[in-house]
Structure 1
Amino acid sequence: MANSLSAEKRIEINERNRLRNKAYKSSIRTIYKKCLIAINNTDENNMDSVNSLLSLSYSKLDKAVQKKMMHKNAAASKKAALAKALKKREQNK
């Protein structure tokens, strides 16, 4: 356990940050999954919604990298997977 007041404070701060990061990463996973589902189950008429979801997921991933919640290569990999799925969908029209 903590032996000093500053150590106790760091424990509280770390827990607060852990919960904040957990919520943010959860939202990233949710948006990423919604975007993949939208790409795979869309028709020509819903491409606007796909593009908005894609833009939102790119933005969330970039913000996570900026806040050091995610490694830049992990975010780049996720963005590449989304782009690849979209390209595959466009080729299979």
Structure 2
Amino acid sequence: MPNIKSAIKRVRTNESKNVQNSHTKSAMRSSIKKAETALTNKDDNASDTVKAAIKQVEKAASKGLIHKNTAARKKARLMKQA
């Protein structure tokens, strides 16, 4: 544990940001998997799940959790499957 007050605060903020970032990334991955399974099962709401997955990917890219080229690649693969 750090002794300096600002370092202590930094540790606290880093922990909270880490929780937020991991939650956002997990939600992104889950929505991608849901979209892929909907496309393989040819569900009638597959286009809605793909739109939701693309929205999650764009959100993660805008927050800097994933690189913009990674986001573009993930979106392109989803659209290609669709």
Q: Aligned runs of 1:45-60 on 2, under 5 Å?
A: 46=44, 49-60=45-56
Report the AA paired with residue 76 of structure 1: A
Distance 2:51 2:79 in 1: 11
For normalisation by structure 1, the TM-score amounts to 0.82
User: Aligned match of 2:59 in 55, 58, 63?
Assistant: 63
Which residue in the other structure is 2:41 paired with?
41
Q: Deviations over 1:39-62 (max 9, x none)?
A: 01115xx1xx11111111111111
Distance 1:59 1:24 in 2: 12
Distance 1:83 1:55 in 2: 9
Aligned-pair identity in percent equals 37
Report the AA paired with residue 36 of structure 2: L
For normalisation by structure 2, the TM-score amounts to 0.93
Q: CA RMSD in A?
A: 1.1
Report the AA paired with residue 72 of structure 1: K
Report the AA paired with residue 80 of structure 2: K
Which residue in the other structure is 2:75 paired with?
79
Which residue in the other structure is 1:2 paired with?
2
Q: Aligned runs of 1:13-52 on 2, under 5 Å?
A: 13-42=13-42, 46=44, 49-52=45-48
